Amino acid sequence: MNFVLTEEQEMTRKMVRDFAEKELKPGAEERDDREEFSRDIFDKMGRLGLTGIPWPEEYGGGGSDYLSYVIAVEELSRVDASSGTTLAAHISLAGWPLYKYGTEDQKKKFLEPMALGEKLGAYALTEATAGTDAASLRTTAVLDGDSYVLNGNKIFITNGGDAEITIVFAVTDKEKKAKGISAFIVEKDSPGFAFGKKERKMGLRSSPTLELIFDNCRVPKENLLGQEGEGFKIAMSTLDGGRNGIAAQAVGIAQGAMEEAANYAKSREQFGQPIANFQAISFMLADMGTKIEASRLLTYQAAYLESAGLPYGKASAMAKLFASETAMEVTTNAVQIFGGYGYTRDYPVERFMRDAKITQIYEGTSEVQRLVISRYLLS
Amino acid sequence: MPFALSDHHRIKREEFRQFADLEMDTGDHFPRDNLQKAAQRGYYGLPIPKEYGGQGEDFLTYILFVEEISRICASTGVIMAVHTSVGTFPLLYFGTEQQKTRYIPGLAGGEFLGAFALTEAGAGSDAAALSTTAVAVDGGYLLNGCKLFITSGGEADVYTVFATADRSLGRKGISAFLVEKGMAGLTAGNPEKKMGLNRSHTTELRMEDLFIPASNRLGEEGTGFTIAMSLLDGGRIGIAAQGLGLAQASLDYTIAHFKDLEAKGYKAEQSTCFILADLAARLEAARLLVYRAAALKEMGISCLKEASMAKMFVTDLAVSAASRCIDLCGRPAAASDNPLTRYLCDAKATQIYEGSNQVQRILIAREILK
């Protein structure tokens, strides 16, 4: 247990950091302001090989591991959390279930173009009345000849509207409740598949979040992912790993905010000296740095365990809970260190704070993580 | 296995856990039996090279040991941490070959208990302000002054004592000396009455015209402060491990308490579960900070920031974990004979010694603002 990253992982960090500084930083504020998703950025991530980092080369991937993947999400999010979430949803939520449960044909047809960055992925579980209680979803799928017919609405779908490939969860047997849910691979141009409202959000404003509408949407039978009735298991196991991605996003957001705050504290003078000289400020930075380091170690550990094929559910829940709570605290204090300037849009820390909030909510709220962890403790 | 314990570490942890659970006692008296049993198993010299009578284990193994024994008795934990991190390492790092062969086999083998005497009434966080003097005389030095809050004072056999030749020289006037129990002019005071860590003796150490032969000066003249500072990372990781053990003990006790209740038909409320979940996540984070600092130290990589982060985060957690667990377990837990109150009282010291957590924040902020 030496916590040493491999050369490949270090190189991934350096490459993504350079990319984020050069390609993401200049326009991040403007994209946030306009609530504008940039497909061009995703395409560039594809050319860099980020869109398939953990998948084997035979499926167009980078043949790397989950630790390299979370490092990439962390580095993107350090500069632009919206880009971080685009990649996290693409890989963890859409790519992972395809890789884990897809047939060889499905992997070739769907995972490969996603890994190459030619197609964007999304994951559609949440509905208006099925949030934390995901098993209560109402979207239905009925087998009719050679295809399933989907009906229902999904909300809050990251990459929605732009994704060419969406993993959709629907009820195939209502009687069986959670065990009557199945997963489907739905292509963007499927008949009966439309996009509804685009959400206007507090943060992650350059990551699109849309409603998906299925109105007698026909999906070929061979697009069933896994077996009928396996959908809930697929959905939940996907989220276990997805949490590592969100934890990494939270680490990146917090790191970015702390760096901004530390630089500002060194240059901002009050009472004739840099405010960094005041312990009110420097102690805040010390606590930030420590909690970020702890979050990072939890996140890397969870990603490492997943890569090594060891159980990681508890570790992921802990990483996601601790890192997202830390991100919220750190970004709030970063705004505090900037004072009134931090509250304006002239500096990026208010964006970091707005972006941090969702990490406590999506892919299982902090409360759900606490439930998951406490079950491990008390069982 | 960069982010998981190796098989060897897992086996050692299990061995230490068995030792702590089955062999160690608790109580009010100085934990002589615990120490003797630890000595018999070679635990006095875990990270000390075999050529000096140690076990030749790595630093992380030693940290696992302090963590596991501190779960059962944090007083024994601090005695062993002080003995190793600041009682034996200075000899290993700075001793002459003659000093090493004279003292380390005894320290590593468990015949000698080691201690460290830096703090004085007027020199706490500001350690360089110490006023104990070392005046050069024929063949050695005469030490005069009084040290305070010395862990294992009166019990230890070998002390690393810091004294100044000339206070006007500041840090550069300070040298380190090896002082043996029984030397004429050395007296330990009565153990301080403390809020916790009651089994660990904390005393004054008075030196009156205490003659130290020149061969017992550790390192060169004037290098004492550097020696003291170079021990801090190892010392802090040791105390962090003690904090880990304490935090784990609080959580273990409370989880067992609620499992008991569940067996009797009472289900823990969500608010209780959530507090336990938060504590467990923070404890896991704390553990990783400590092990990482230990791994860096083992690899010879500078780990001052990481050691400070680990020490601060873990020991703050040890206190809040004990306090929250008392809240959860209710009134019986607040009784003075309940282990949780002992954990709370023991944990408080970990926030203070080996550099208070305020000092850690100063050091961490300095690194961040570089």
> Which tokens in the block code for residue A230?
């396996």
- Burial environment of residue B183 by CB neighbours within 10 A (0 to 12, 13 to 18, 19 or more): middle
Nearest CA to CA, how far is B236 from chain A (Å)? 15
pLDDT tens-digit readout, B156-201: 999 999 999 999 999 999 999 999 999 999 999 999 999 999 999 9
> Could you identify the residue written with the tokens 């707005």?
A354
**Of B204, B262, B354, B367, which one is the catalytic site residue?**
B354
> Which tokens in the block code for residue B142?
């005469």
Of the two residues B120 and B333, the one the predictor is more confident about is: B120
pLDDT of residue A6: 95
Asked if B5's CB is within 8 angstroms of A298's CB, the reply is no
Please, which residues have CB within 8 angstroms of residue B77's CB and are 6 or more apart in sequence? B66, B69, B70, B241, B242, B245
Of residues A283, A297, A373, nearest to B277 (C-beta) = A373
User: Which of A243, A256, A301 is closest to A77 using CA atoms?
Assistant: A256
**B284, B324, B360, best to mutate vs chain A, most A CBs in 10 Å:** B284
Q: Is B278 on the interface with A (CB under 8 A)?
A: yes
pLDDT tens-digit readout, A236-256: 999 999 999 999 999 999 999
Nearest CA to CA, how far is B204 from chain A (Å)? 32
Q: Is B369 on the interface with A (CB under 8 A)?
A: yes
> Which tokens in the block code for residue B21?
């659970």
Average pLDDT (B192-219) is 97
pLDDT of residue B337: 82
pLDDT tens-digit readout, A152-170: 999 999 999 999 999 999 9
Residues 86-145 on B with a CB inside 8 Å of A are none
> Which tokens in the block code for residue B157?
């056999």
Output the CA–CA distances (angstroms, integers) from residue A347 to A248, A285, A338, in the order listed: 23, 18, 9
Say how many CA atoms lie within 13 Å of B74 toward its Cβ: 30
Kindly tell me if the per-residue pLDDT of B1 is higher than 80: no
Residues 170-209 on A with a CB inside 8 Å of B are none
B112 dihedral zone (left: phi>0; alpha: psi -120 to 50; beta): beta
Output the CA–CA distances (angstroms, integers) from residue A27 to A20, A30, A35, A38, A82, in the order listed: 11, 5, 12, 10, 12
Chain centroid offset of residue A298 CA: 17
Q: Can you tell me whether residue A221 is helix, strand or coil?
A: helix
Largest CA distance in chain B: 77
Q: Can you tell me whether residue A198 is helix, strand or coil?
A: strand
pLDDT bucket at B334, cuts 50 / 70 / 90: confident
Q: Is A285 on the interface with B (CB under 8 A)?
A: yes
Nearest CA to CA, how far is A63 from chain B (Å)? 19
Strands B114-117 and B158-164, sheet pairing? parallel
Chain centroid offset of residue B365 CA: 24
In contact, A122 and A165? CB cutoff 8 Å: yes
pLDDT bucket at B151, cuts 50 / 70 / 90: very high
Asked if B255's CB is within 8 angstroms of A1's CB, the reply is no
pLDDT tens-digit readout, A124-150: 999 999 999 999 999 999 999 999 999
Residues of A in contact with B288 (CB under 8 A): 3, 294, 297-298, 301
Asked if B258's CB is within 8 angstroms of A287's CB, the reply is no
Straight-line distance from the first to the last Cα atom of chain B, in angstroms, rounded to the nearest whole number: 32
The C-alpha atoms of residue A279 and residue A265 are separated, in whole angstroms, by: 11
pLDDT of residue A379: 87
> Which tokens in the block code for residue A113?
């173009």
Please give the residue of chain B at the shortest CA–CA distance from A264: B369
Please give the residue of chain A at the shortest CA–CA distance from B296: A2
Buried b / exposed e across B272-304, counting CB within 10 Å, b at 16+?
Answer: bbbbbbbbbbbbbbbbbbbbbbbbbbbeeeebb
The C-alpha atoms of residue A347 and residue B310 are separated, in whole angstroms, by: 32
Residues of A in contact with B367 (CB under 8 A): 289
Asked if A310's CB is within 8 angstroms of B2's CB, the reply is no
Residues 282-301 on B with a CB inside 8 Å of A are 282, 284-286, 288-289, 291-292, 295-296, 298-299
> Could you identify the residue written with the tokens 């992650």?
A204
Nearest CA to CA, how far is B103 from chain A (Å)? 31
pTM for this model (two decimals): 0.96
pLDDT bucket at A68, cuts 50 / 70 / 90: very high
In contact, B293 and B303? CB cutoff 8 Å: yes
Treating both helix axes as pointing N-terminal to C-terminal, what angle do A366-378 and A313-338 enclose, rounded to 10 degrees?
A: 140
Kindly tell me if the per-residue pLDDT of A204 is higher than 90: yes
Kindly tell me if the per-residue pLDDT of B212 is higher than 90: yes
pLDDT tens-digit readout, A8-39: 999 999 999 999 999 999 999 999 999 999 99
pLDDT tens-digit readout, B88-147: 999 999 999 999 999 999 999 999 999 999 999 999 999 999 999 999 999 999 999 999
Residues 322-341 on B with a CB inside 8 Å of A are none
pLDDT of residue B335: 83
State the amino acid at position B274 in one-letter form: F
Residues of A in contact with B3 (CB under 8 A): 1, 3, 67, 300-301, 304-305
The C-alpha atoms of residue A362 and residue A123 are separated, in whole angstroms, by: 12
Cβ of A218: how many Cβ atoms within 10 Å?
A: 17
Residues of B in contact with A290 (CB under 8 A): 289, 309, 312-313, 364
Average pLDDT (A41-56) is 98
Active-site positions of A read 363
The C-alpha atoms of residue B39 and residue B44 are separated, in whole angstroms, by: 5
Query: Which residues on neighbouring strands pair with residue B174, listed in sequence order?
Result: B164
Sequential DSSP letters for B336-352? TTSHHHHHHHHHHHHTT
> Which tokens in the block code for residue B292?
């990482």
> Which tokens in the block code for residue A102?
């897809």
Q: Is A321 on the interface with B (CB under 8 A)?
A: yes
Q: What are the DSSP E strand ranges found in chain A?
A: 121-124, 140-144, 147-158, 165-171, 181-187, 193-198, 209-220, 224-225, 269-270, 273-274
In contact, B157 and B35? CB cutoff 8 Å: no
> Could you identify the residue written with the tokens 């299925």?
A214
Q: pLDDT > 90: what percent of chain B?
A: 96
Nearest CA to CA, how far is A368 from chain B (Å)? 9
Residues of A in contact with B291 (CB under 8 A): 1, 3
Please give the residue of chain B at the shortest CA–CA distance from A294: B285
In contact, A50 and A44? CB cutoff 8 Å: no
pLDDT tens-digit readout, A277-321: 999 999 999 999 999 999 999 999 999 999 999 999 999 999 999
Size (chain B), residues: 370
The C-alpha atoms of residue A95 and residue A50 are separated, in whole angstroms, by: 12
pLDDT bucket at B336, cuts 50 / 70 / 90: confident
Q: Is A300 on the interface with B (CB under 8 A)?
A: yes
Average pLDDT (B39-51) is 98
Nearest CA to CA, how far is A2 from chain B (Å)? 5
Average pLDDT (B205-212) is 98
Please, which residues have CB within 8 angstroms of residue A70's CB and are 6 or more apart in sequence? A244, A245, A247, A248, A299, A300, A303
Asked if B1's CB is within 8 angstroms of A371's CB, the reply is no
Average pLDDT (A38-62) is 98
pLDDT of residue B332: 81
C-alpha angle A42/A92/A140, rounded to 5°?
Answer: 105
Mean of the per-residue pLDDT values of chain B: 96
Nearest CA to CA, how far is A349 from chain B (Å)? 18
Q: Is A135 on the interface with B (CB under 8 A)?
A: no
